[in-house]
Structure 1
Amino acid sequence: RLPDFVTREDFDWAVSEAAAKKKLDFSAVELLRVDEGLCVQCMHTGPYDGEPATIDAMRAFAAEQGYAPDFSESRLHHEIYLSDPRKCAPEKLKTVIRHPIKAM
């Protein structure tokens, strides 16, 4: 995820710099702008096996606020992995979980 002020030129420069410094091929990296609409999201901390409890809490929170799940072919469950499981203890993993919602 990038801030809105990051331009295509900024992105291309960063990819070029990373490729030069790391001596890796970043040609598959893309800059995408996505409008997911109304969502509920939460930072899940811990092992991936614990995510169902976080998702249950998200559903309960959304319902308390007057919202219902809004899944479809274009509105999906998303996870953004902020930690590298190869380098991080399972209890310290951080994952942003996002679900589409709509007013009830």
Structure 2
Amino acid sequence: MAPTPVVKVDLRRELVGYRARHGRFDLVTLPPRRYLAVDGAGDPNTSTAYADAVSTVYPVAYSLKAVGRARYGRDHVVMPLEAQWWADDPSVFTTRRDKASWRWTVLLLVPDWLTDDDVAEACAAAAAKGRRPALEALRVVTLDEGLVVQTLHVGPYDDEGPVLAQLHDEVLPARGLRPTGHHHEVYLGDPRRSAPQRLRTILRQSVEHVDVASNPVVN
């Protein structure tokens, strides 16, 4: 019997939400999606926990890619790293940039044809190949963000503050929207290989429509 041909899959091209436009704030509706996830807190530039999370989700994701290829004949491109960010005081993102106060969840998309058992197998395979410091904290979560506003930020991560302030202080009120969940970022660039000014990051905020009758919008 001839082997089943392997199908190459690039979900970045197929899934809604992995394209955004610089200087534009687009309203997009996203379906529920499953992710590898690790929670933590602190400055991502100096936090051991953040480095441990990233160095764990990637090996598991590549092991999961191997499982999908062998079991289902679907060889998917590993998706970009993502993260949700939040804090008790939102100004630490837009003005003060107090990264020590940040809380976060590192995310990496799980294709929908892969099961939780496949993830468990991938975790075991990744563990067998080396130290995965956040493996015990890794879980699979489903995010149902629904309606979101997103834009493309080009440049250093530390320059995001004014864009986020514009989103929350101008764009959302003008469109009769309010935030409903955590700030979400999708990292299309690799900071290890790209100059800071060339980094590309999707900035995303889940939203809902304000009741116009009780909260009139002034254009």
- Scaled by the length of structure 2, the TM-score of the pair is 0.36
Structure 2 partner of 1:79: 185
Q: What is the CA-CA distance between 1:2 and the residue it aligns to?
A: 2.3
> Given the alignment of the two structures, is residue 2 of structure 1 paired with residue 110 of structure 2, yes or no?
yes
Structure 2 partner of 1:24: 131
Structure 1 partner of 2:206: 100
For structure 2, list consecutive stretches of 5 or more residues without a partner in the other structure.
Answer: 1-108, 211-219
% identical equivalent positions: 35
CA distance in 1, matches of 2:202, 2:118: 24
Q: What is the CA-CA distance between 1:31 and the residue it aligns to?
A: 1.0
- Bigger radius of gyration: 2
Aligned with 2:141: secondary structure?
coil
- Contact in 2 for aligned 1:38/1:102 (Cα 8 Å): yes
Structure 1 partner of 2:122: 14
Structure 2 partner of 1:38: 147
Which residue identity is paired with 1:76?
H
- Alignment RMSD (CA, Å): 2.9
Aligned length: 97
For structure 1, list consecutive stretches of 5 or more residues without a partner in the other structure.
Answer: none
Q: What is the CA-CA distance between 1:48 and the residue it aligns to?
A: 0.8
- Scaled by the length of structure 1, the TM-score of the pair is 0.64
- Contact in 2 for aligned 1:67/1:101 (Cα 8 Å): no
CA distance in 2, matches of 1:20, 1:94: 33
Aligned with 2:136: secondary structure?
coil
Q: CA, structure 1 residues 57+76, in 2 after alignment: closer, same or farther (shift >3 Å)?
A: closer
Q: Which has the higher contact order (CA 8 A, sep 6+)?
A: 1
Q: What is the CA-CA distance between 1:57 and the residue it aligns to?
A: 6.1
